[in-house]
């Protein structure tokens, strides 16, 4: 059973049973709750470790920073490639991609005294485009809509807590619009 604290006013959008069994290739969201007016959310996902993440973890020193880098490798790669990925209904062109990604501060780890399970924590910033990413003069990235118009991107800040179960990562992901993150940090730190 998974449990975490959240404000009583938040809405539970997804609540699925998870028994620790086989995880779909693209992972599974077990719980997602939030204040969807301000887009402050907390979710729990179970994701199989990719070949890249497995290799990075196997070659690493096992530090919390190495775990953070391994689990965010695909986001960093999409930024480097100016790649739009995924098909998302209800947005321009049905595309989404990360224009900027930055690990923030120091990653940390702790061991649960009762279970001996290790938990890793880290924070990151993303700048996401919900359309086509193009590189302008000087290397600046722009979010371009289907009519060639420049769209606003979405800057978010996330706090992650992760543990490993077999070949899967169980990830608690707390996220808010970057400009609001400090305002809701006490919720994200629960």
> pTM for the whole thing?
0.85
Name which residue leads in pLDDT, 82 or 42: 42
User: Do 146 and 167 contact (CB within 8 A), yes or no?
Assistant: no
The pLDDT-based confidence of 137 (bands split at 50, 70, 90) is confident
Distance CA 42, CA 87 (A): 22
Name which residue leads in pLDDT, 11 or 188: 11
User: Do 30 and 14 contact (CB within 8 A), yes or no?
Assistant: yes
Residue 92 reports pLDDT greater than 50: no
């Amino acid at each position: 059973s998974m449990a975490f604290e959240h404000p009583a006013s938040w809405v539970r959008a997804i609540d699925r049973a998870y028994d620790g069994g086989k995880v779909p290739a693209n992972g599974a969201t077990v719980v997602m709750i939030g204040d969807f007016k301000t887009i402050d959310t907390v979710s729990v996902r179970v994701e199989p470790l990719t070949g890249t993440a497995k290799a990075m973890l196997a070659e690493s020193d096992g530090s919390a920073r190495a775990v953070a880098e391994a689990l965010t490798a695909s986001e960093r790669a999409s930024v480097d490639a100016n790649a739009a990925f995924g098909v998302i209904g209800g947005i321009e062109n049905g595309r989404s991609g990360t224009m900027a990604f930055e690990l923030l501060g120091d990653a940390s780890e702790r061991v649960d005294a009762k279970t001996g399970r290790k938990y890793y924590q880290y924070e990151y910033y993303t700048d996401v485009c919900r359309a086509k990413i193009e590189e302008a003069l000087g290397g600046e990235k722009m979010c371009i809509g289907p009519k060639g118009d420049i769209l606003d991107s979405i800057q978010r800040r996330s706090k992650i807590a992760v543990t490993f179960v077999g070949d899967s990562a169980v990830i608690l992901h707390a996220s808010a619009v970057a400009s609001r993150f400090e305002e809701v940090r006490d919720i994200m730190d629960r």
